[in-house]
Structure formats: structure tokens, C-alpha cells
Amino acid sequence: MTDTPLPSESPLTGNVLFYSQPEPITIEAHGDLGVNATDNPYAFIAQSHLVPLTVTEFAPAALSYPVIFLGDTKQPVAVMGLGEGQNLFIDAAGALRGDCYIPAYARRYPFVFANDQEQNRMILCIDRAAPFVAKGGEVPLFVNGEPSDYVNAAMEFCNNFEGERQRTESFVALLNELDLFDTREAVFTPRDEQGNPGQPQKLAEYQAVSEDKLKALSPEKLAELRDNGALGQIYAHLPSLLGWDGLIALAVQRSNAPAGNA
């Protein structure tokens, strides 16, 4: 498998969240492009309430968001809002809160690997639609006909991310094998001005590790999970689920804010 930013003669496969125009980086197509500095580099996630995570990010992400599993693949994600089109950690100007963890999935943007199945390799791509990618940009993609240090650093980051992605798939497969997942619901009970509870509202349905199933494992299996690091990641995931209350508080705060500050 090659991981050099070379042109591809065969089709690339896969659609990637947040990337609207990914293109394999080549000197012919992108030799005059660069990336400009921007005050709000994460504005592109403002309309998403979910951002994918890798397993080694569970602990730092859990300090900011609920970490849950979604879909048939049980993709781990950070929950950044209570519904589609709402990210409670991005303000109206596109600025990310300075006290929250930034998932690697977002930090690698505008770069991403695409799968070239015919040649069995990963190709480094850039989202040509990213607003801070422009002709004559401050940080060039190529210098003297070769990938710049910036592109090489992006290559290394994406390479590491791919390794973490594969590690995450193995982690989820292990939890599936042990039948540790349960379906859960996040529920909000509103209260009136007198503090009386109203009708409970379901915010989300998702997969999470079952503490009861975890406790039922044999001592030998628990020791195995401890030794391979999976138990530590599970223990980071579980307390993160308390973060739903924090999301609700942020949503209430935003709804009560003046329109110009929302």
C-alpha cells in the first residue's frame, strides 16, 4: 500500500462526511494552490451534531461530549448537539468553543485519504471546496514541484488517523464479540416555572456498553480487556454519558441568548 500524494489512474471510492469536493492532490491540478489562515477553521462542522471519533480519543472527548455508538457498524461519535443541523459548540460566527476537545476527524480537514481499490492504496486528497483553500494561498501545497512540508505533515496525520480508525474497528468488533452493547435512550424531562415535570422527550436512541454485561464477564476476560487497553476506553465512554445534561444546558442557554449571540 502506498501513501504518497500521487495522481490515480483508477477510481477512488467512498464518501466522507463534511467533504464536498475531495480531489487527489497532484502537482498538475493543485500546484498553484495553498491554504490561508482562518479564524474559524472548524466552521464546517457547524451544521452537524455528530462527529466521528477513534477509540483513543474517548478519554479527552468524554470531558466535553457524550461518546456513543451509532448504526449497524456502531461507529463511535462525539455528540455535539441535540438534533440535526445544530452544533452547540460552534457559535453563529463559526467559532468553536475554546474549552472543548477537537476530534481528529475534524482536525485533519481539508485533507483525507481515499481508497484506490484497483491499485490497493490510499490516496491523499484535499477538499477543493474548503473556503480557505485558494490559488496563491499563504501556505503552498507544493514547493519547487514537490509536496510542501505542510502537505507532508497532513500525510503523516492522515496516516496516523487511518491506523487509529483500524484500531477502532477492532475495538468495536471485540465489544460485539463479547455482546457488550445495549440500546439506550437519552431523555429530557422539561419543567415549568414552578418546577413541575412535563412530558418526557426522547432526544436520541443509541448504543452504549452495558455495565451489567461488563460485570458479568469472567475475571479472565476482564483481565484480557484490561491488558489490551479496551477496559480503559470503556471506562472513558461510560461516564461520558452523563454529558447529556450538559448538552441540554447548552441548548437552553443558546435558546435564551439574544438573537445576535445565538
Among 12, 42, 11, smallest CA distance to 112 is for 12
State mean pLDDT over 136-141: 96
Q: Are 7 and 28 in contact (CB under 8 A)?
A: yes
pLDDT at 178 over 60: yes
pLDDT at 7 over 50: no
Q: For residues 79 and 81, give the distance between their C-alpha atoms in angstroms, rounded to a whole number.
A: 6
Q: For residues 231 and 6, give the distance between their C-alpha atoms in angstroms, rounded to a whole number.
A: 40
Query: Residue 3 in 3-state DSSP?
Result: coil
Q: For residues 241 and 220, give the distance between their C-alpha atoms in angstroms, rounded to a whole number.
A: 27
How much is the pLDDT for 3? 38
Helix (H) or strand (E) holding 169: helix 149-177
Q: For residues 137 and 23, give the distance between their C-alpha atoms in angstroms, rounded to a whole number.
A: 17
How much is the pLDDT for 188? 80
Q: For residues 127 and 106, give the distance between their C-alpha atoms in angstroms, rounded to a whole number.
A: 13
Q: For residues 39 and 119, give the distance between their C-alpha atoms in angstroms, rounded to a whole number.
A: 39
- 12-21, 50-59, 111-120, 249-258 — which one is most confidently predicted on average? 50-59
How much is the pLDDT for 216? 97
Q: What is the pLDDT of residues 34-45, one digit of tens each?
A: 999 999 999 999
Among 55, 112, 97, 111, smallest CA distance to 78 is for 55
pTM for the whole thing?
Answer: 0.86
Backbone phi and psi for residue 67, each to the nearest 5 degrees, phi listed first: -110, 115
Q: Are 126 and 22 in contact (CB under 8 A)?
A: yes
- Confidence class for position 11, pLDDT limits 50, 70, 90: very low
User: What angle do helix axes 149-177 and 230-240 make, rounded to 10 degrees?
Assistant: 90
State mean pLDDT over 146-171: 96
Among 165, 159, 171, 166, smallest CA distance to 229 is for 171
Place of cell 452495558: 210
Q: Are 61 and 240 in contact (CB under 8 A)?
A: yes
How much is the pLDDT for 15? 61
Among 107, 123, 117, 118, smallest CA distance to 25 is for 123
